[in-house]
Every structure is written in structure tokens, then in C-alpha cells.
Amino acid sequence: MIVSRRIFANLVLATLAATIATPAPAQDKVVRIGHQKIGAFALLKPTGLLEERLKKLGYSVTWTEFPAGPQLLEAVNVGAVDFAHTGEAPPVFAQAAGAPIVYIAHEPAAPAAEAILVQKDSPIKSVADLKGKKVALNKGSNVHYLLVKALEKAGLAYSDVEVAYLPPADGRAAFEKGAVDAWVIWEPFRAAAEIATGARTLADGTGLVSNHEFLFTTKSFAANNPKEVVDTVLAASKEIYAKARADVKGTAETYSRAVGIPAAAFEASLKRKSLDIVPISDEILAQQQKIADTFLELGLIPKAITVSDAAYKPAS
């Protein structure tokens, strides 16, 4: 059957008109959560609580797990997730690299939840004894700043030690083999090493660092989505932490199954933290600025940053 050009054109126009007149079915907007194996987001994921709350606002939720904070913030940088959480040092490195992060909340300070460890029979008795020694840490993590401040208090420069950049699993292996003299690590890996090897704490963060955990979104998400969505994520996180505080033993067992570290280690580590979510403040951002300035002086970040540029500005 041959159709004239005029008839064909009319058919096309009619089809386009029908397409325009018939709206496509509404699609949920998506909140993409990046999380680690532990933390508020990890506890929220299996409950369905966030999905329930955000569905009322027309949003669905996806979850992606990452091994550590630096990788999580890289996912923020490339636009793969909308929400993330890390310790205090990764966002400094991320902002210096141009990542569009926005600080939205933090956990209370937990200085005792990270430490410099040595083997139980190590001749090293003080931080000053680390001069000329090899120290392992995860590059760009919260413990990076702890080492800097501990050395400074002991009258040493960062260059006075040999730093080996190793992720937690490799760091512990090197520590146990004696390939490094000290290991700077956070919970629960600290407690696990203490229980399994008798590792001795040379210094923790008490009196040296705040050690906050931060929650982030992206500049584009903050600008293009209602404040109510961010508030809902924070409220659900705060609620799940309240439940975790009320059942430390159960929380430790949940974390143990996720990470493969004994529940006893998690119980010990949870006692060194306050499980809560607090809105971001100028005071906390100022503390982050000190970390950024210190890292710039040491050449650990390539350029100066203004941390307050990453303060949360809700969509109007």
C-alpha cells in the first residue's frame, strides 16, 4: 500500500500530537546513597525506613557500598552518588581536588576512636621514639591528621618519619609482620588489633584531634532538590543511631557480620564513639579549615581551599 506524502505527513503530525497530549508516566526521583560497611547509612539500608519516608516525597533510594571514605568521595566527585559519609580528612583532599561536596551534618567528636599502635613488645615508648621509624596509615583518611598533630606535640616534623600508605587490611598485615614500626588506624580496626595481637596504644586522638565523621551531599543535589529531602535523610540517620545506642550489643553483632571483625571489637569501639547526627555549624567548619591549612603547609593538598565554600546552602 502506497501512502501519499501528505497523508504520511498528517500521520506523523497526529502521532506527535498524541505523544505530546499524553503525558509520560511519572518517574520517581532518585536519592543515591553511598555508604561504607558501618555507619548510619549502613544501619539504615536494611530497614527500609528511608525508602518509606522518601516515597512520600516522590523519591526512591539506591544504595552503593564503598571500601573507605576517599573512594566514596570520589564517587561524589564523578556524580555517582548524592549522599556520602567519611571522616574529617577525606573531604579536605576531595575539596582540594575540586569535588562538589557539601557538608550537611556531623557526628560528635570521637578523639579516642583512632590511635597510633605499636606491637606489645615494641621498644617504642612514646611518639618521640617514632623519629626515623616507618609508620603505616591510609592516605587521606582521618588518621592522617592524627599523625601530624601527634608528631607536632612530640616536637617532630612529619618528615621525621617514613610514612607507608596502606589501606587497613594491608596495614594490619604489615604491622603484624613487623614491616612497619607503628600503625595509625581507626575503629574498629584498632580494637580488633588490640584484642588479636595485644597491640599497644602509643597515643590516641584525645587532646590532639576532634575526629568527626561527616555527612555530605553534592552542590547540585542541594541546589536542585527541596530541603525537606536532605532533612529526611538526616532525621532517619539520627533515628537509626538512637536505636543503635539503645542496643550496643546488637549493633556490634550487626557490624561484625558486615565486616568480619569480632563483635567484641565492635563493642569496644562503640564505647569510644557517640552515635548521633548533628547539623553542621560554623565552628565545625572552622575546625576543618585548620586541617586544610595544615595539609597545605605539608604539601599534602595541591592548593589552598576555603572549607566554608562547601557549607550547606539549602535550595530556596
- pLDDT for the residue numbered 20: 36
Output the average pLDDT for the chain: 89
pLDDT at residue 86 tops 70: yes
pLDDT at residue 24 tops 80: no
3-state secondary structure of 238: helix
What single letter denotes the amino acid at residue 312?
A: Y
User: Using one digit for the tens of pLDDT, what is the confidence trace for 207-259?
Assistant: 999 999 999 999 999 999 999 999 999 999 999 999 999 999 999 999 999 98
Q: Which residues pair with 87 in a beta bridge?
A: 213
Domains 29-110+212-310 and 111-204 in one fold? yes
Domain 111-204 belongs in CATH node 3.40.50.150: no
Query: Grid coordinates 553483632 are at which residue?
Result: 253
Element (H, E) at 35: strand 29-35
Overall pTM surpassing 0.75 (yes/no): yes
What is the distance between the alpha carbons of residues 167 and 70, in angstroms, rounded to a whole number?
11
Picking from 49, 71, 108, 147, the residue whose alpha carbon sits closest to that of residue 245 is 108
Burial of 120 (0-12, 13-18, 19+ CB in 10 A): exposed
User: Using one digit for the tens of pLDDT, what is the confidence trace for 101-129?
Assistant: 999 999 999 999 999 999 999 999 999 99
Q: What count of other Cβ atoms lies within 10 Å of the Cβ of residue 191? A: 25
Confidence label for 11 from pLDDT (cuts 50, 70 and 90): very low
CATH of domain 29-110+212-310: 3.40.190.10
User: Using one digit for the tens of pLDDT, what is the confidence trace for 305-315?
Assistant: 999 999 998 87
Element (H, E) at 190: helix 189-197
Q: Would you kindly state where each structural domain of the chain is located, as residue ranges?
A: 29-110+212-310, 111-204
Cell numbers given for 243: 536505636
| More confident position, 74 or 232 | 232
